[in-house]
Amino acid sequence: MMDAQPSLPSDAALLAAYAAGDAAAAQTLATRLLPGVLGQATRMLADRTEAEDVAQEAMMRLWKVAPDWRDGEAQISTWLYRVVANLCTDRLRKRKRTAATRLDDVAEPADPTPGVVDQMQTGARHQALADALAQLPDRQAQAVALRHLEGRANPEIAQIMDISVRSVESLTARGKRALAALLAGKRAALGYDDD
């Protein structure tokens, strides 16, 4: 989501320029990185307000780490994936107590208008999934989200989570099975009644 084009300055170069006092570098970096950060948070949390809070916090951490950033040690995009995933699982953990109730609440859309139904179903599906993610252990939730919502490859997830590829495979497999079990019988909530 955050790969720089070859002719453009790298994320690390921009961050170094920001740390050296270049105000324009912050704008370029934010324009390049913020959409991906917000997207990851939104997909994981299914809550726009919370996702925006997480995105702002993640970028705040990037500005803070700028003077100490060592180019070559890690990709900024990898670091950001990790920060956003951690911030999101913190928030999902807080939802655990209410998630079960919410899953029952979103079962049926009330308005029969087709467009509204679609919209509500999309929202309800997303909410149901986020609530189910909240029930998983943090590492499983992060691995599943990075693999199936962000589309990251296992070696990249291993880097992001600082674990082995084998562990990623195990976490995603167990996480997805747990997610399916949590959502078993909730196909209405997911908006897929028939097969």
Partner 1 sequence: MTDPDMKALDAALADIADQHPQVPDALMTAVLRDAAHLQSRAIVQPDPVGLWQAFLDLIGGWPAVSGLAAAGVAGVWMGIAPPVALETAAAQMLGTTQVVDLFGTDTLSGFAVEGGVE
Minimum distance, C-beta of residue 79 to partner 1, in the bound complex (Å)? 16
Of the two residues 110 and 194, which places its CB atom closer to partner 1 in the complex? 194
Of the two residues 6 and 114, which places its CB atom closer to partner 1 in the complex? 114
Of the two residues 6 and 23, which places its CB atom closer to partner 1 in the complex? 23
Of the two residues 95 and 125, which places its CB atom closer to partner 1 in the complex? 125
**CA Rg value for the chain:** 18
d(CA 139, CA 159): 13
SS3 content of the chain, % helix, strand, coil (to 5): 75, 0, 25
Q: Does the CA dihedral 118-54-186-108 come out positive or negative? A: negative
Minimum distance, C-beta of residue 192 to partner 1, in the bound complex (Å)? 4
The answer to whether 168 touches 81, Cβ cutoff 8 Å, is no
The answer to whether 146 touches 175, Cβ cutoff 8 Å, is no
Minimum distance, C-beta of residue 46 to partner 1, in the bound complex (Å)? 8
Minimum distance, C-beta of residue 27 to partner 1, in the bound complex (Å)? 6
* Residue 162 amino acid letter: D
- Looking at residue 184, what DSSP letter applies? T
Binding site for partner 1 (CB under 8 A): 18-21, 23, 26-27, 30-31, 34-35, 38-39, 42-43, 46, 48, 51-52, 55-56, 59-60, 63-64, 66-67, 122, 125-126, 128-129, 148-151, 176-177, 179-181, 183-185, 187, 190-192, 195
